[in-house]
């Protein structure tokens, strides 16, 4: 039969079901009887029937979906008998009810007959049968749609995952270090029951969020209520909205914060992820990322730079940008969360009409206060404590207990189970999940089931208490260690890594005992039932283990667990947990069998035999840094490592050489223990090495050991020397120790060239002061930055620049990448530093460096204020000075200013710095804005004006990538009165002409001027530098 006929027949059955169900609801609502449960079930049935009816009406089935249509029709036809039975029940109770009203003397007897328990039970039985089959049909229908959308979303997420975009060079991929959000979206979507969250995306609040300018929607609720799942529903709906409006350029980006993953907790990770996702959706997808990498290749860009790039991306999408940030409360409270909230606040203050933010979190005080204080734009709040969440939970329970084979043994008692779970859930999905686990393991007798349902815990805390109490006595120590390590792990642990962690024996003689290894992941699940989850599809390799839900870790780390004396031993205190993890890692690294196995040619074999080796080598120090240094004998183990017991130190460096700066690894031999101790700031290790004679200078200092040892000033490593390493990392105490023992304060080596440049570049003012007091040469040139002042200026460390100037540094010294300090500060847009250098006598026109001059450097970067500062302080633009003076200082109206621009075109054309400004699109307009003249070009009225057309051509050329730079122009009053479509079309037309004449299409950098550009456009281009 034709699919349309099948669907029409099914729709008829559903329509009849809706009428019958509404009729029964009206009857029982008017009857004075205890039919609350029946009404609840009828209400749920009515919702399902209406949803199914709406889906069938709106859905357009494809030719390849005949099988799906047949399955759905068969399931709906199965409901026909039950619907007919309900129809008969409805007609009988109505007819008999009418008779009752006709014979007043027998009212009580008649009603009792009609509404006796057996009648209600029959109605409920038929309702359950319809719900079961309609639910299956709905799942089929929705799952097919979800599969189709998720295939499309999968394609999108593949592009959102920057590491999967092959067009991005490896250097930029490594530099970005962006966590893959597609995995976390898929994880949330996997937990979503069909239909979950439809109340949100079909509601007016969500529609307003989609449509209103500069909108913000905050989903808040307590732990375990399904916020992440709801976010995945919202993301799917935004994607559908994007598909339905494909003519507009709409951006979609997401970020899932996570308590269990250090790479998903701070503002920088969030910004880098959003930037990479949005840039990958643009036609010129990698230009901004490449530019960002080029400008900050030696460091991760500071947050304010990333925020500005994000703003440019938001402006690039004509149809708006939708950003979903899930689980804000899983960003650690304190500095990290404050920075995240500040960025959200700043983004709202942009007042960008096209920016739409959706946030989810618990309703914590700092989050609530920050969001409520933002005045701009449209903001709505949705509390997850509502009846719709309860309905989602009820549907989830009904579906899960019927689909779970381990619960099918209770088929005769489904209604009883549903009632108990729905009443106890109180809006918390996580609570329901835990109770379903208990049902799976409940012994198969009605007595045990009754006991379990009668004793369901009242809250998540009570649930976790019961789960901890269920851990067998002989497994308690293993369970404690597993939970503790998963709470403090620096990255998700693989199953083999966690198994080896359990096998490490601590105490007076710590060792790794292979006999203590658990058999497999099932043993981990057995020891910690319900507490852990295994991610089978980890982005970086084998499956990983994590705490199943944030509420578990929050409970284990809270004071509440200590209120129960028998459970206090499971309490997790972060400092102690990190000390435990550090000790486990160090024990593993010091194990003779691990040391003996680790050879350069046998790294794969080592990881196979001793899978914890890599994590232990990479993470022991960060655990030590974050833990109690005096616990578990950690410091003694560190001393053993650095004294190279059994070759353990060499093995550690071989496994994980942390001597790198911004991705640069050293060449040549492994450096000495004192070098690494200095890099890590382990002052007690350096003192011990000196006492043992392993870190002597070549000329012994007073009281020193006379044993022949290697020199403290030995060159090598990324930082060149131990002193430069300590200076770069800002370890003042270590710097003092090294200087006391004769380290050369002016040693010239390594990436920075000198310890002073290393400290200045990293912004460690205290170390800079210490080195200057010890005789460091402030004017020594060398290193990547060229000199200490260049380094401090490039990084924007104003206080250090001031200190260096006070100590006699040459403000105009020329050397290195930027040539001079002024160019270094200008290239990075550090306005305060630029002003300070100019006040100290910096030469604005000093030539040299990568960009040629400070003005070119600022123009290439698009730093308008820096360009203004430089021009105001006399920076030359290679144009006619008298003309510049007249144009910038007064006199002359619109006509004169056009003459000025015409002169730029005809007399200098594309000469520096015009071309360089122009090359990165934004810089030319920085120079135009500097002159402070209102400039208006009306192509319609004066199309024969060479000056106007040259200027218009340049305006179009500047915005040839309008999607990225148009917002900057619009903010300054440049380019008004053109619609986006017209503007882009005309800009491309003029841009092609300009590019052709300038030789862009042939890879030439020719500089031509004086061409007459014709245009039939009727719109005007206005340049109104309102900021001046």
**pLDDT tens per residue across span 640-675:** 999 987 889 988 988 888 876 544 555 545 678 999
Q: Which helix (H) or strand (E) holds 958?
A: helix 946-958
Residue 166 has pLDDT above 90, yes or no: no
SS (H, E, C) 663-681: CECCCCCCCCHHHHHHHHC
Residue 224 has pLDDT above 80, yes or no: yes
199: which 2 tokens? 């109340």
Tell me the per-residue pLDDT of 612-625, one tens digit each, with 9 for 90 and over.
999 999 999 999 99
State the pLDDT at residue 1021.
28
3-state secondary structure of 226: coil
State the pLDDT at residue 756.
95
270: which 2 tokens? 């969030």
As a whole number of angstroms, the distance between CA 37 and CA 40 comes to 5
Tell me the per-residue pLDDT of 877-922, one tens digit each, with 9 for 90 and over.
654 444 334 333 433 333 333 444 444 444 443 333 344 343 443 4
90: which 2 tokens? 């409805």
Of 349 and 540, the structure prediction assigns the larger pLDDT to 349
Residue 31 — pLDDT band, cuts 50, 70, 90? Answer: low
Of 190 and 568, the structure prediction assigns the larger pLDDT to 568
Residue 591 has pLDDT above 60, yes or no: yes
Q: Which of 129-133, 347-351, 753-757, 824-828 has the lowest mean pLDDT?
A: 129-133
885: which 2 tokens? 């003076």
Of 271 and 990, the structure prediction assigns the larger pLDDT to 271
As a whole number of angstroms, the distance between CA 680 and CA 758 comes to 15
Helices within 31-79 (DSSP H only): 36-58, 66-78
Q: Which of 145-149, 221-225, 327-331, 796-800 has the lowest mean pLDDT?
A: 145-149
Q: Which of 85-99, 323-337, 477-491 has the lowest mean pLDDT?
A: 85-99
Span 807-813, mean pLDDT? 94
As a whole number of angstroms, the distance between CA 41 and CA 29 comes to 13
Which numeric CATH code is attached to 161-385? 3.40.50.300
Write the CB contacts of 57 (distance below 8 Å, at least 6 apart in sequence).
11
Span 482-496, mean pLDDT? 94
As a whole number of angstroms, the distance between CA 279 and CA 285 comes to 5
> What is the pairing mode between strands 511-512 and 504-505?
antiparallel
Residue 59 has pLDDT above 50, yes or no: yes
Span 174-179, mean pLDDT? 66
Q: Which helix (H) or strand (E) holds 756?
A: helix 755-762
Write the CB contacts of 97 (distance below 8 Å, at least 6 apart in sequence).
27, 110, 111, 114
Residue 1012 has pLDDT above 90, yes or no: no
Residue 293 — pLDDT band, cuts 50, 70, 90? Answer: low
Q: Which of 206-210, 373-377, 564-568 has the lowest mean pLDDT?
A: 373-377
As a whole number of angstroms, the distance between CA 816 and CA 790 comes to 8
Span 384-413, mean pLDDT? 86
458: which 2 tokens? 């009242």
3-state secondary structure of 532: strand
Residue 401 has pLDDT above 90, yes or no: no
Domain boundaries, the chain: 3-148, 161-385, 390-456, 473-634, 637-818, 881-1023
Burial class (CB in 10 A: 0-12, 13-18, 19+), 667: exposed
Going by C-alpha positions, the residue among 589, 606, 583 that lies closest to residue 642 is 589
Q: Which of 374-383, 726-735, 807-816 has the lowest mean pLDDT?
A: 374-383
Going by C-alpha positions, the residue among 415, 419, 397, 398 that lies closest to residue 132 is 398
Residues listed for the chain: 1028
Residue 260 has pLDDT above 50, yes or no: yes
Top mean-pLDDT range of 12-16, 140-144, 978-982: 12-16
Residue 88 — pLDDT band, cuts 50, 70, 90? Answer: confident
CATH classification of 3-148, choosing from 2.60.40, 1.20.1410, 2.40.50, 1.10.760?
Answer: 1.20.1410
As a whole number of angstroms, the distance between CA 27 and CA 29 comes to 5
Distances (CA, A) of 947 to 896, 899, 910, 952: 11, 7, 15, 9
Of 449 and 997, the structure prediction assigns the larger pLDDT to 449
725: which 2 tokens? 């390493």
State the pLDDT at residue 372.
83
Give all strands of the β-sheet with 251-256 in edge-to-edge order.
Answer: 251-256, 321-326, 355-361, 215-220, 378-383
Going by C-alpha positions, the residue among 383, 328, 320 that lies closest to residue 353 is 320
Going by C-alpha positions, the residue among 546, 533, 550, 552 that lies closest to residue 464 is 552
The beta strand positions in 885-1024, using DSSP E, are 935-937, 1021-1023
Helix axes 673-680, 722-729, angle to 10 degrees: 10
Residue 187 has pLDDT above 90, yes or no: no
> What is the pairing mode between strands 215-220 and 251-256?
unpaired
Q: Which of 453-462, 493-502, 805-814, 918-927 has the lowest mean pLDDT?
A: 918-927
Going by C-alpha positions, the residue among 769, 770, 775, 712 that lies closest to residue 743 is 712
What does pTM read for this prediction? 0.68
State the pLDDT at residue 474.
92
Residue 704 has pLDDT above 60, yes or no: no
- Our measurement of the distance from residue 275's CA atom to the centroid of its chain's CA atoms, rounded to an integer in Å, reads 10
Residue 73 — pLDDT band, cuts 50, 70, 90? Answer: low
State the pLDDT at residue 354.
92
Distances (CA, A) of 938 to 113, 399, 569, 974, 1023: 88, 67, 78, 13, 11
Tell me the per-residue pLDDT of 357-372, one tens digit each, with 9 for 90 and over.
999 999 888 898 888 8
C-alpha dihedral sign at 796, 802, 807, 810? positive
Span 469-484, mean pLDDT? 94
As a whole number of angstroms, the distance between CA 55 and CA 141 comes to 8
Span 868-878, mean pLDDT? 81
Span 410-433, mean pLDDT? 89
Tell me the per-residue pLDDT of 229-250, one tens digit each, with 9 for 90 and over.
899 999 989 988 888 888 888 9
* CATH fourth-level superfamily of 637-818: Ankyrin repeat-containing domain (1.25.40.20)
Buried b (16+ CB within 10 A) or exposed e, 463-484: bbbebbeebeeeeeebbbbbbb
Residue 771 has pLDDT above 80, yes or no: yes
Tell me the per-residue pLDDT of 998-1007, one tens digit each, with 9 for 90 and over.
333 333 333 3
As a whole number of angstroms, the distance between CA 978 and CA 294 comes to 33
Q: Which of 280-294, 545-559, 789-803 has the lowest mean pLDDT?
A: 280-294
Residue 118 has pLDDT above 80, yes or no: no
What DSSP string runs through 105-148?
Answer: GGHHHHHHHHTSHHHHHHHHHHHHHHHHHHHHHHHHHHHHHHHH
C-alpha dihedral sign at 975, 979, 983, 986? negative
Write the CB contacts of 368 (distance below 8 Å, at least 6 apart in sequence).
220
Residue 183 has pLDDT above 70, yes or no: yes
β-pair partners for 547? 532
Of 924 and 866, the structure prediction assigns the larger pLDDT to 866
Top mean-pLDDT range of 145-149, 156-160, 614-618: 614-618
3-state secondary structure of 324: strand
Distances (CA, A) of 638 to 641, 643, 670, 765, 958: 5, 9, 18, 29, 58
Looking at the chain, the whole-number percentage of residues with pLDDT higher than 90 is 33
As a whole number of angstroms, the distance between CA 169 and CA 283 comes to 17
3-state secondary structure of 215: strand
State the pLDDT at residue 890.
38
State the pLDDT at residue 195.
75
């Amino acid at each position: 039969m034709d699919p349309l006929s099948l669907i029409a027949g099914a729709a008829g059955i559903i329509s009849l079901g809706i009428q019958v169900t509404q009729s029964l609801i009206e009857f029982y609502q008017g009857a004075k009887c205890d039919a609350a449960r029946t009404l609840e079930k009828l209400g749920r049935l009515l919702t399902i029937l209406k949803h199914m009816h709406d889906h069938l009406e709106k859905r357009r089935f494809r030719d390849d979906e005949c099988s799906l249509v047949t399955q759905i029709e068969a399931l709906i036809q199965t409901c026909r008998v039950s619907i007919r039975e309900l129809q008969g029940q409805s007609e009988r109770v109505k007819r008999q009810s009418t008779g009752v009203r006709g014979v007043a003397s027998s009212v009580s007897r008649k009603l009792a007959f009609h509404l006796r328990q057996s009648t209600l039970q029959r109605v409920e039985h038929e309702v359950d049968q319809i719900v079961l089959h309609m639910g299956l049909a709905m799942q089929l229908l929705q799952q097919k749609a979800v599969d189709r959308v998720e295939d499309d979303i999968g394609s999108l997420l593949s592009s959102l995952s920057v590491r999967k975009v092959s067009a991005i060079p490896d250097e930029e991929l490594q530099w970005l270090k962006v966590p893959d959000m597609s995995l976390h979206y898929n994880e949330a979507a996997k937990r979503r029951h069909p239909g979950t969250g439809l109340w949100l995306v079909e509601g007016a609040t969500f529609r307003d969020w989609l449509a209103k300018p500069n909108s913000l929607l905050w989903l808040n609720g307590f732990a375990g209520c399904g916020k992440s799942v709801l976010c995945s529903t919202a993301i799917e709906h935004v994607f559908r909205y994007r598909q339905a409006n494909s003519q507009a350029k709409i951006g979609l980006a997401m970020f899932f914060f996570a308590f269990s993953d250090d790479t998903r907790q701070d503002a920088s990770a969030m910004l880098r992820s959003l930037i990479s996702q949005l840039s990958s959706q643009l036609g010129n997808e990698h230009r901004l990322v490449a530019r960002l990498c080029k400008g900050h290749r030696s460091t991760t860009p500071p947050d304010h730079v990333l925020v500005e790039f994000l703003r440019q991306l938001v402006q690039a999408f004509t149809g708006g940008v939708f950003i979903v940030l899930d689980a804000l409360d899983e960003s650690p409270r304190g500095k990290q969360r404050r920075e995240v909230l500040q960025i959200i606040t700043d983004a709202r203050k942009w007042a960008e009409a096209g920016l739409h933010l959706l946030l989810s979190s618990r309703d914590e005080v700092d989050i609530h206060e920050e969001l409520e204080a933002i005045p701009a734009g449209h903001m709505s709040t949705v509390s997850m404590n509502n009846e719709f969440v309860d309905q989602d939970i009820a549907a989830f329970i009904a579906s899960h207990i019927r689909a779970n084979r381990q619960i099918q043994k209770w088929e005769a008692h489904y209604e009883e189970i549903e009632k108990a779970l729905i009443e106890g859930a109180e809006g918390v999905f996580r609570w329901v999940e835990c109770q379903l686990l208990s049902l799976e393991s409940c012994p198969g007798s009605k007595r045990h089931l009754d006991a379990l349902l009668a004793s369901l815990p009242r809250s998540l805390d009570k649930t976790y208490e019961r789960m901890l109490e269920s851990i067998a006595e002989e497994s308690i120590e293993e369970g404690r260690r597993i939970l503790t390590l998963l709470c403090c792990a620096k990255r998700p642990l693989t199953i083999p890594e966690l198994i080896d962690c359990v096998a490490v024996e601590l105490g007076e003689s710590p060792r790794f005992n292979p006999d203590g290894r658990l058999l497999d992941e099932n043993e981990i699940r057995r020891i910690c039932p319900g507490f852990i989850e295994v991610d089978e599809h980890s982005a970086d390799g084998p499956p990983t283990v994590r705490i199943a839900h944030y509420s578990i870790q929050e409970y284990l780390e809270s004071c509440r667990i200590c209120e129960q004396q028998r459970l206090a031993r499971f309490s997790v205190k972060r400092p102690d947990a990190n000390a435990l993890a550090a000790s486990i890692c160090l024990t593993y690294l010091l194990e003779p069998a691990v040391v003996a196995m680790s050879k350069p040619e046998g790294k794969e074999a080592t990881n196979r035999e001793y899978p914890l080796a890599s994590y232990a080598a990479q993470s022991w120090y960060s655990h030590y840094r974050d833990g109690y240094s005096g616990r578990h004998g950690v410091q003694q183990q560190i001393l053993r490592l650095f004294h190279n017991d059994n070759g353990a130190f060499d093995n550690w460096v071989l496994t994980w050489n942390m001597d790198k700066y911004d991705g640069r690894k050293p060449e040549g031999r492994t450096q000495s223990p004192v070098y690494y101790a200095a890099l890590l700031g382990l002052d007690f290790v350096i003192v011990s090495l000196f006492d043992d004679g392993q870190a002597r200078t070549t000329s012994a200092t007073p009281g020193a050991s006379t044993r022949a040892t290697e020199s403290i000033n030995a060159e090598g490593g990324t930082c060149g020397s131990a002193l430069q390493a300590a200076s770069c990392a800002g370890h003042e105490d270590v710097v003092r120790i090294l200087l006391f023992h004769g380290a050369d304060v002016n040693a010239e080596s390594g990436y920075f060239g000198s310890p002073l440049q290393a400290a200045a570049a990293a912004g460690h003012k205290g170390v800079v002061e210490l080195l200057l007091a010890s005789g460091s040469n402030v004017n020594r040139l060398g290193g990547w930055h060229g000199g200490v002042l260049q380094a401090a200026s490039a990084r924007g460390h104003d206080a250090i620049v001031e200190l260096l100037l006070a100590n006699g540094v040459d403000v105009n010294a020329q050397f290195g990448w930027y040539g001079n300090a002024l160019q270094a500060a200008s290239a990075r847009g550090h306005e305060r530093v630029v002003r300070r250098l100019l006040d100290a006598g910096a030469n604005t026109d000093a030539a040299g460096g990568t960009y040629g001059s400070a003005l070119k450097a600022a123009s290439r970067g698009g730093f308008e204020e820096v360009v203004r500062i430089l021009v105001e302080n006399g920076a030359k633009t290679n144009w006619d000075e008298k003309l510049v003076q007249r144009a910038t200082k007064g006199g002359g109206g619109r006509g004169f200013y056009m003459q000025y621009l015409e002169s730029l075109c005809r007399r200098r054309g594309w000469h520096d710095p015009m071309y360089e400004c122009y090359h990165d699109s934004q810089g030319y307009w920085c120079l135009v804005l500097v002159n402070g003249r209102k400039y208006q070009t009306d192509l319609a009225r004066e199309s024969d004006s060479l000056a106007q057309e040259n200027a218009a051509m340049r305006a179009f050329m500047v915005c040839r990538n309008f999607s990225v730079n148009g917002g900057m122009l619009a903010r300054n009053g440049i380019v008004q009165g053109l619609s986006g479509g017209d503007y882009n079309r005309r800009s491309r037309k003029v841009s092609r002409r300009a590019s052709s004449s300038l030789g862009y299409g042939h890879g030439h950098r020719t500089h031509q001027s004086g061409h007459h550009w014709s245009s039939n456009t009727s719109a005007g281009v206005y340049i109104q530098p309102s900021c001046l």
